[in-house]
C-alpha cells in the first residue's frame, strides 16, 4: 500500500470515529427527559455506589431531572432548544464528510472543529456560573472540547503529511524502447 493510500485510510478511520461520536452526542440530546429518568434510576439502584460516595452528583441529577420534568409538563417548547442542539451536532457531523472525501482540500473543516472545541472552554466557564451549573459539571462539559480536539489534531497532522506526500514529485516511469534491429 502506498504512503498516500495508508495516510488517507488512517485519516478516514479517525474521521468516521469522530463523526459517529458527534452523531451519538446529537442523538442523545433528543430524549433528555427519558434519559434523566433512566440515569437517576440506574444511579439510585442498590448496586450503585453513587448516592453514598457522590451525593452532590445525585442531588444534581435529581435537580436536573425535576427541572426537565417540569419544563416538559408545563413548557415543552423550552425543550425545543435541546432539539436544535441535537440537530446542530448532526449537521456538524455532515460537514466532516468533506474532509473524508478530500482531506487536503477540506482541512478547514478540521480547523473549524478545533476552534469549536476550544470555544467550549470559555462557554462553560462563562455560561455555567450564569446558569447555576456546578463547576465540576462545567469541567465535564469542557472535557468534550479537550477530548474532541485530540482526534482533530491527529487528523490535521496526518492531512499535512498527506499534503506533503501529494506535493512530492513522483518519478516518471522509465520509458521502454524497443530494441533496435
Comparing CA positions, the residue from 147, 24, 17, 158 lying closest to residue 86 is: 24
The 8-class DSSP code of residue 168 comes to S
Burial class (CB in 10 A: 0-12, 13-18, 19+), 126: exposed
- What percent of the chain stands above pLDDT 70? 93
**Lowest-confidence range among 25-34, 71-80, 169-178?**
169-178
Residues 6+ apart with CB under 8 A from 71: 78, 79
Report whether pLDDT(177) > 80: no
Residues whose CB is less than 8 angstroms from the CB of residue 11 and which lie 6 or more positions away in sequence, other chains included: 99, 100, 103, 155, 158, 159, 162
Tell me the C-alpha to C-alpha distance, in Å, between residue 177 and each of 56, 61, 108, 171, 181: 81, 78, 46, 18, 12
Residue range 76-89, pLDDT digits in tens: 999 999 999 999 99
Distance between CA atoms of residues 86 and 83, nearest Å: 5
| 4-53: pLDDT as tens digits | 999 999 999 999 999 999 999 999 999 999 999 999 999 988 888 988 99
The pLDDT of residue 178 is above 70:
no
Mean pLDDT (whole number) for 119-134: 96
Complete DSSP assignment for 38-89: HHHHHHHSTT--HHHH-HHHHHHHHHHHHHHHHHHHH-GGGGHHHHHHHHHH
Q: Is the pLDDT of residue 68 over 70?
A: yes
Q: How much is the pTM? A: 0.84
**Element housing 135 (H / E):** helix 135-167
Amino acid at each position: 500500500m502506498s504512503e498516500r493510500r495508508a495516510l488517507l485510510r488512517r485519516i478516514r478511520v479517525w474521521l468516521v470515529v469522530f463523526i459517529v461520536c458527534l452523531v451519538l452526542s446529537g442523538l442523545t440530546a433528543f430524549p433528555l427527559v427519558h434519559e434523566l429518568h433512566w440515569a437517576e434510576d440506574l444511579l439510585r439502584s442498590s448496586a450503585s455506589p453513587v448516592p453514598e460516595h457522590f451525593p452532590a452528583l445525585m442531588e444534581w441529577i435529581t435537580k436536573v431531572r425535576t427541572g426537565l420534568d417540569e419544563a416538559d409538563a408545563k413548557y415543552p417548547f423550552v425543550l425545543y432548544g435541546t432539539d436544535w442542539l441535537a440537530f446542530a451536532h448532526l449537521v456538524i457531523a455532515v460537514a466532516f464528510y468533506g474532509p473524508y472525501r478530500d482531506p487536503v482540500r477540506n482541512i478547514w473543516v478540521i480547523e473549524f472543529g478545533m476552534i469549536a472545541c476550544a470555544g467550549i472552554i470559555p462557554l462553560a466557564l462563562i455560561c455555567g456560573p450564569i446558569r447555576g451549573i456546578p463547576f465540576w459539571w462545567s469541567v465535564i462539559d469542557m472535557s468534550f472540547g479537550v477530548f474532541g480536539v485530540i482526534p482533530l489534531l491527529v487528523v490535521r497532522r496526518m492531512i499535512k503529511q498527506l499534503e506533503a506526500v501529494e506535493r512530492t514529485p513522483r518519478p516518471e516511469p522509465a520509458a521502454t524502447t524497443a530494441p533496435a534491429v
